[in-house]
Amino acid sequence: MDKPKLFLASCISLVTTAMVFAIRGDVATAMGGDFHLTNEQLGLIFSPAFWAFTIAIYVSGALVDVLGMRRLHIVSAVGYVVGVVLVIAAPRPAGPVSSLFDSTGTTLLYAGFFIMGLSQGLVEGVINPLIATIYNDQKTRRLNMLHAWWPGGMIVGGLLAYAMTTALNASWELKLATIMVPAVIYLFMAVSLTYPPTERVASNVSTQQMWAEAAKPLFLLLFVCMWMTAASELGPDQWFPTVMGQLVPQLQGVLFLVYTAGLMFVLRFYFNGWAHHAPIRALLICSALTGIGLYWLGGLKPGTSPFIAFAAATVFGVGKTYLWPTMLGVTAEQFPRGGALLISLMGGTGMLSVAVALPIMGARIDRFGPGAALQIFAIPTAILVVIFGGLLLYFKARGGYRAVQLPAGAMAGK
């Protein structure tokens, strides 16, 4: 078993996932124009990616122990290629459609993003338990390093889209096609590598014990928190290029996405130690900063100085940095008997919340403008500050935060 190559393949697959996210946001306006879609319809077009993500990650959490991580990783790569081809090949309707399923073109758009969502879910369903298994003594640290490649992929996708627009005036179809490149790379890597069984299987924890972990009060509380952390991070992110382009029209909106992604990459990859040693405190501070950043961004007016806009984006970018991977890390550390299932439940509910958030945000952009759309997502962060503050006191009363350890098991590949 080659741990560095498994980690690399996991990083490339997460880059692919993030490129979908970044490029989809960049091409939204052009694609919406070609298919005569409103912002609310665009939100509905994009939302199946998140619903499908949820379905796939829930299913993979149960199947990964049976089918093996390698097979599911391969299927995810194939899904990206198929999904992109369907979207690019979708015929344009002659005019606006009242329902997405009134036109073959918009139906294929929906199907393509749904399949890409399935691939995103399979990727998360494989790489999170994989990294928790092969680095079981430093789960939160390694998960933060892995998920540094989520913003890393957004940087790649965002800069690529920006360069293709400014230098080549490339079509949105050509931009979307670039997603297939990393997908094919990690497909070949996955085919050639040996994957271990999950930590739960290697430690001989029964399926009954695994399911029992999901009923524990602390997990249920974290499960609820994931709804709010994911919506506050990823809901605004998907609309960020469009929203910031309207608020600061002198700059391309995708540059703000690239900037906040750069902050996240550096902090997650090189400054993950404090999240590893004090994950609950990290979640508390990040929730507060995310809320402040969103409220500030939502208060910006068209024509705002780019300096002020980037300052607000900095607060938001730093705040959202550790939310997703640290939530997964705390789950993996506190409930190792829950194995891939509980990690997948946590990731799945995060994407489910985004699926709900996207049409809501699109509708608010249509009715009230981009500022109000951002500010509504500052509300859940206030609730999170209270909850994480309570959890900080809870662990302090127990003598401090400690990861739960399972007996070491054989790590034979399969």
Domains of the chain: 3-397 (1.20.1250.20)
Higher pLDDT, 352 or 17: 17
- pLDDT in the model for residue 275: 83
What is the C-alpha to C-alpha distance for residues 40 and 46, in angstroms, rounded to an integer?
A: 10
pTM of the full structure: 0.79
Give the per-residue pLDDT at 407: 66
Taking alpha carbons only, the member of 324, 342, 99, 315 closest to residue 230 is 324
Residue 414 has a pLDDT of 37
Dihedral angle at the C-alpha atoms of 179, 180, 183, 184, nearest 10 degrees? -150
Residue 280 pLDDT: 95
What contacts 216, CB < 8 A, 6 or more positions away?
A: 335
Triad 101, 17, 72: Cα angle to 5°: 90
For the segment 9-30, the average pLDDT, to the nearest whole number, is: 89
pLDDT of residue 392: 95
- In the chain, the percentage of residues whose pLDDT exceeds 90 is 38
**40-44, 58-62, 271-275, 408-412: least confident range:** 408-412
Give pLDDT, residue 159.
Answer: 85
Match 């206030």 to its residue by tokens. 382
Give residue 68's pLDDT. 85
In one-letter notation, the amino acid at residue 65 is D
Residue 230 pLDDT exceeds 80: yes
First to last CA, the chain: 10
Q: What is the pLDDT of residue 393?
A: 95
Tell me: pLDDT of 344 over 60. yes
Asked if the model's pLDDT at residue 314 lies above 90, the reply is yes
Least confident range from 61-70, 166-175, 374-383: namely 61-70
In the prediction, which pLDDT does 341 show? 82
Average pLDDT, the chain: 86
- The answer to whether residue 201 scores a pLDDT higher than 80 is no
pLDDT of residue 155: 86
Highest mean pLDDT among 98-102, 239-243, 358-362: 98-102
How far apart (Å, rounded) are the C-alpha atoms in residues 296 and 244? Answer: 12
| 258-265 mean pLDDT | 86
User: What whole-number percentage of the chain has pLDDT above 70?
Assistant: 97
Does position 324 have pLDDT exceeding 50, yes or no?
Answer: yes
Mean pLDDT of 59-66: 79
Dist. CA 217–CA 394, nearest whole Å = 13
Amino acid at 307: F
Instruction: Report the pLDDT value the prediction gives residue 33, as an integer from 0 to 100.
Output: 87
**Residue 382's pLDDT is what?**
94
Residue 101 has pLDDT above 90, yes or no: no
State the Cα torsion 239-241-245-250 to the nearest 10°: 170
Mean pLDDT of 301-316: 86
Among 285-294, 342-351, 389-398, name the one with the lowest average pLDDT.
342-351
Closest Cα to residue 251, out of 315, 165, 153?
165
pLDDT tens for each residue of 358-412: 777 778 778 887 778 788 888 899 999 999 999 999 999 998 888 887 765 444 4
pLDDT of residue 88: 94
